[in-house]
């Protein structure tokens, strides 16, 4: 069979697999076992070994599979990494978001771009990796709930550390138009709960309004947001260059004339450096413990303010010499590197010593949108990258 025919078969396979992957409604927080089993079966069919890590309810699962080298040498193993969850669907789609549809040069469907397109390409290329004389291991890492503060990846990485899989080159296929991203801000998400004392609005001094104390908490966060801007590093490579802070929502109260006894605030920060996250948490915690909570307890001793960590995803730091970036560059011929402000699992892999690059098909401009799509040419570019990985991973 000619190389062109073979490439066409792999491409057609990637489209079929992508359509299948989109049909699994793996919205963050929901069960992704069926999709993971589907991926696992494909990989095992071509000789991969695998293990899974689960959440506490066994409802959500990570998969780590390996096509072993025929004869290993000193080459670093490759980890092809992607998340299996997608964001919820808004109204307004022109077609069924969980039924992939090709129109012109685009394939539409929730997750087509972010990031089932990349996963489909890696699965379509599995038989090729299996059929050649690999001189390094090829790993496939598929995680759950990346979209909700990277909840799945830490469980997987904990298991990798146990198994001493802490070196290698990790390529995270987030949508970057196949451009190399070598730095990201961190992403820390919190929910802060306020519990006061309900009462009648005509006697506000006898109650403790959780809503009012939540409002003061938010006001303090907004003040701290300005301080974060003052701490902007001189050599920051990000846009915006400072650590950001955003209030996602305030929820509390039941009626106009009832003192609210419960309220909670969703908020997040994206630190340029880890120290900004530490500074912010110390400042807001001190404000709670020294100011807000004592005032609440004067009226109602059982008042509470509880900050729950939803996720603290460390940033992905630019390094002077990145084996992963150089490896990808050597295949694509593109030596440029860029940064983005959206979060990925890159920093988690980097933290355990795995050289990491973010590079995948599709544009982040289509991620999370109504009528999400991926251009078909982007899938072809991704398959070209995988071909390059194969060529650099076979016994000479």
**Active site (catalytic) residues:** 85, 146
What SS3 state is found at 28? Answer: coil
DSSP for 341-352, written as a single string: SS--SHHHHHHT
List the one residue out of 388, 378, 328 whose CA is nearest residue 14.
Answer: 378
Integer Cα distance of 395 and 133 in angstroms: 6
Integer Cα distance of 217 and 210 in angstroms: 10
List the one residue out of 336, 323, 321, 330 whose CA is nearest residue 389.
Answer: 330
List the one residue out of 325, 363, 326, 310 whose CA is nearest residue 190.
Answer: 310
DSSP for 273-318, written as a single string: SHHHHHHHHHHHHHHIIIIIHHHHHHH-TT-EEEEEEEEEEPPB--
Identify the H or E element spanning 103. Answer: strand 101-103
Q: Are 54 and 162 in contact (CB under 8 A)?
A: no
Let me know the angle formed at the C-alpha of 220 by 190 and 227, rounded to the nearest 5 degrees: 95
Question: 358: which residues sit within 8 A by CB, 6+ positions away?
Answer: 171, 172, 174, 176, 180, 181, 182, 184, 316, 340, 344, 346
Based on C-alpha coordinates, what's the Rg of the chain? Answer: 24
Q: Give burial (CB, 10 Å; 0-12/13-18/19+) of 369.
A: middle
Q: Give burial (CB, 10 Å; 0-12/13-18/19+) of 230.
A: exposed
What SS3 state is found at 387? Answer: helix
Integer Cα distance of 344 and 233 in angstroms: 22
């Amino acid at each position: 069979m000619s190389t062109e025919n073979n490439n066409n078969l792999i491409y057609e396979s990637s489209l079929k697999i992508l359509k299948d992957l989109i049909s699994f409604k793996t919205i963050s927080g929901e069960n992704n076992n069926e999709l993971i089993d589907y991926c696992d079966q494909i990989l095992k069919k071509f000789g991969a070994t695998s293990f899974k890590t689960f959440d506490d309810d066994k409802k959500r699962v990570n998969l780590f599979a390996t096509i072993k080298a025929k004869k290993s040498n000193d080459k670093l193993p490759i980890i092809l990494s992607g998340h299996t969850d997608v964001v919820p669907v808004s109204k307004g789609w022109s077609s069924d978001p969980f039924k992939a549809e090709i129109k012109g040069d685009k394939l539409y469907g929730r997750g087509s771009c972010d990031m089932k397109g990349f996963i489909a390409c890696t699965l379509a290329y599995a038989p090729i990796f299996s059929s050649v004389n690999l001189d390094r291991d090829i790993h496939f890492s598929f995680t759950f709930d990346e979209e909700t503060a990277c909840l799945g990846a830490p469980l997987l990485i904990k298991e990798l550390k146990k198994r001493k899989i802490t070196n290698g080159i990790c390529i995270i296929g987030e949508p970057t138009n196949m451009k190399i991203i070598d730095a990201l801000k961190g992403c820390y998400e919190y929910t802060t709960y306020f519990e006061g004392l309900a009462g009648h609005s005509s006697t506000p001094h006898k109650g403790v309004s959780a809503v009012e104390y939540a409002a003061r908490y938010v006001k303090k966060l907004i003040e701290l947001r300005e301080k974060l801007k003052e701490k902007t590093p001189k050599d920051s490579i990000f846009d915006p260059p400072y650590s950001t802070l955003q209030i996602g929502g305030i929820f509390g109260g039941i009626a106009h004339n009832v003192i609210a006894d419960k309220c909670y605030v969703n908020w997040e920060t994206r630190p340029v450096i880890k120290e900004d996250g530490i500074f912010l948490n110390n400042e807001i915690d001190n404000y709670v413990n020294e100011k807000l909570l004592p005032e609440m307890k004067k009226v109602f001793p059982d008042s509470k303010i509880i900050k729950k960590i939803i996720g603290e995803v460390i940033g992905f730091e630019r390094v002077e010499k990145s084996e992963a970036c150089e490896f990808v560059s050597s295949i694509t011929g593109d030596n440029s590197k860029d940064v983005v402000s959206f979060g990925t699992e890159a920093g988690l892999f980097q933290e355990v010593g795995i050289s990491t690059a973010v590079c995948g098909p599709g544009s982040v401009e289509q991620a999370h949108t109504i009528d999400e799509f991926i251009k078909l040419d982007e899938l072809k570019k991704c398959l070209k990258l995988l071909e390059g990985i194969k060529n650099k991973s076979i016994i000479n």
